[in-house]
Amino acid sequence: MLQSFLNGAHQQKVYTIITGASHGLGEALAIESAKNGRHIILLALPDSGLNETAKRIRETNYTDVLTYELDLTQEQALYDFHDWTEKNGYQIDTLINNAGTGGSTHFAEAPADYLNTIILLNIRALAILTRLFISELKRHDRAGILNVSSMAAFSPIPFKSVYPASKAFVYSFSIGLKEELRGTNVSVSVLHPGPMATSEEIKVRMGKHGWLAKKSLISTENMAKAAYKGMLSKRGVIIPGRLNRISMRLMALLPLSIKLPMLSRMFQRELTVRHEI
């Protein structure tokens, strides 16, 4: 079993914070962290099943699993959570910013609140949480930040306009911060998941995108394992899946005049699928 990120952490419990941890990739990252002997603090929305997730992890792992319910789009809630960790004396050496949201829609038809939520969750919450905990991370001999971006970060995407822009921020922010922290005890990694097989709806949607999208599907469990391994190795950019890496290189070579119409056709089909479902 891999040891803690801190390489021992003496007798004091040291925690990993994971946002968006009640289901999907966040839950898989929580399970992977616990399997590797980490004490964890799980964050998610109220009534999202977070306590049930924590209970399942406790039943199969000998680690401390704490939960904290909050809405990360509410700025004061971020400060309240940070104050809670300090008040209780929780030491933090790893921050996993996993929470995010998005979807496919015509921009002109998207409710303003929906767009605002993407920006507040994917961008503001991630940046502020990182800033709030950076001093605590620096207190440890070895510490890490894992930010979850997306394969969508590497190109503009019609019918998703705000989402890939928000994930491009996560990528740029992470790479810039990694360089800024070079020579310190804090490493920064950014994960770029492609499609994940989290539900039958996802599988149907990916089927409409063609064979490459279907072949690119990775389970959340395998994604979490690759992410955790990459973080421990202090890898700056983590892109699990050979097809995803090939796809990224191909998309980088294509001019926008070819790439954007192709993506437009692809995600128009996704809009159709969502209507059918």
Q: Tell me, what CATH number does 152's domain have?
A: 3.40.50.720
Q: What DSSP line would sit under 75-114, residue for residue? A: HHHHHHHHHHHHHTT-EEEEEEE---------GGGS-HHH
Report yes or no on 9 lying in a domain.
Answer: no
**179: Cβ–Cβ under 8 A, 6 or more apart, which residues?**
none
Q: Are 126 and 167 in contact (CB under 8 A)?
A: no
Report yes or no on 268 lying in a domain.
Answer: no
Report yes or no on 39 lying in a domain.
Answer: yes
Task: Please state the pTM of the whole predicted model.
Answer: 0.87
Report yes or no on 83 lying in a domain.
Answer: yes
Helices and strands per DSSP (H, E), number in the chain? 11, 7
Domain range for 144 is 14-198+218-241
Report yes or no on 270 lying in a domain.
Answer: no
Report yes or no on 249 lying in a domain.
Answer: no
Least confident segment among 80-84, 97-101, 162-166, 216-220? 216-220
Residue position matching structure tokens 């973080």: 231
Q: How far is CA 48 from CA 9, 67, 68, 98, in A?
A: 32, 12, 11, 15
Rg of the chain over all Cα atoms, to the nearest angstrom: 19
**Total domains in the fold of the chain:** 1
pLDDT at 229 over 70: yes
Report yes or no on 8 lying in a domain.
Answer: no
Report yes or no on 260 lying in a domain.
Answer: no
Which residues is 92 bridged to in the sheet?
15
Q: Are 213 and 270 in contact (CB under 8 A)?
A: no
Q: Are 159 and 264 in contact (CB under 8 A)?
A: yes
pLDDT in tens, 145-190: 999 999 999 999 899 999 999 999 999 999 999 999 999 999 999 9
pLDDT in tens, 131-151: 999 999 999 999 999 999 999
Interatomic CA distance for residues 221 and 225, integer angstroms: 6
